A and B are shown apart, each in its own frame.
Chain A
């Protein structure tokens, strides 16, 4: 448990912020274009992005996939109650093996674990709850909130 103390924040200057704004919106933007926009050299952008990657400020890039177009029509949040708090670790380890779970949090409030699930249909979600979750030892019960519509989804504001 050596991560209990607060990690010092990495130094991010205005140029870094400008670069972040551009590359978080379009991962394939040519670095030369970023350079032109920021008024520095292409090499400088390469260096800065590498530094941001090394610092863990950015953790890679992706094409953003629309889950619905891949057939994942049901998005749900689930709160999980445990039989005993000490089961937390073993339950999380079992949850990570279920690929339909895209997010998992340790939360305050009424639930011990809070997850986000993407399934193809409601029936698929039922199978997950009915079969997969039943096999996990330590889960007492679950509460499901189906998202009928995602109003928006975006990244954190960069200053």
Chain B
């Protein structure tokens, strides 16, 4: 039996099912795992309390709602100490979907979805590069997302 963060095999099997399809009826999850429906409810709620599950949602394909350009941007700061103020300002830009504090040559690494290259230019020059403390940026456009998936549960 694996035990990670107070999770047992049954928890992980439930997680494996509902992390692939959040609308699976708990009745079906119960049948597959071999416990009662109430137990599934209880265990899911417990995993929410433990912050193993941090929410649920439908995946949107950004391309279908007009976000055609996916880009990674490495951000250089004037001073390392400016990290938190810059990160706060980056959060105000809705097109930035992910933001990391990284080791390596960049201080901050972000993922951006833009409608097209012109929109990307606006985000870069009018928004990101105008933030006080941002020294320069380096842009990697993703020409193709080969795959995207969740961490393996087992």
Docked-complex contact A66 and B60, CB < 8 angstroms: no
Q: A104, A145, A155: which contacts B145 (Cβ < 8 A)?
A: A104
**How many residues of chain A are within 8 Å of chain B by beta carbon?**
66
Docked-complex contact A77 and B146, CB < 8 angstroms: no
Q: Say yes or no: A27-B102 contact (C-beta < 8 A), given A12-B65, A63-B15, A106-B143.
A: no
Docked-complex contact A77 and B141, CB < 8 angstroms: no
| B61: interface (CB < 8 Å) | yes
Question: How far, in Å, is A90 (CB) from chain B's closest CB?
Answer: 13
Question: How far, in Å, is A9 (CB) from chain B's closest CB?
Answer: 6
Docked-complex contact A69 and B50, CB < 8 angstroms: yes
**How many residues of chain B are within 8 Å of chain A by beta carbon?**
65
Docked-complex contact A62 and B20, CB < 8 angstroms: yes
Instruction: Give the CA-CA distance A67 to B51 in the complex, in Å.
Output: 10
Instruction: Give the CA-CA distance A62 to B17 in the complex, in Å.
Output: 9
Instruction: Give the CA-CA distance A15 to B100 in the complex, in Å.
Output: 34
Interface string of A42-65 (1 = CB under 8 A from B): 000000000000011111111111
The A-contacting residues of B in range 124-154, CB under 8 angstroms, are 138-153
B→A interface (CB under 8 Å): 4-5, 7, 15, 18-23, 44, 50-67, 70, 72, 87, 90-91, 94-95, 97-106, 108-109, 113, 138-153
- A-B CB proximity, top 8 nearest: A27-B22, A147-B100, A61-B22, A105-B142, A27-B56, A109-B140, A145-B104, A151-B99
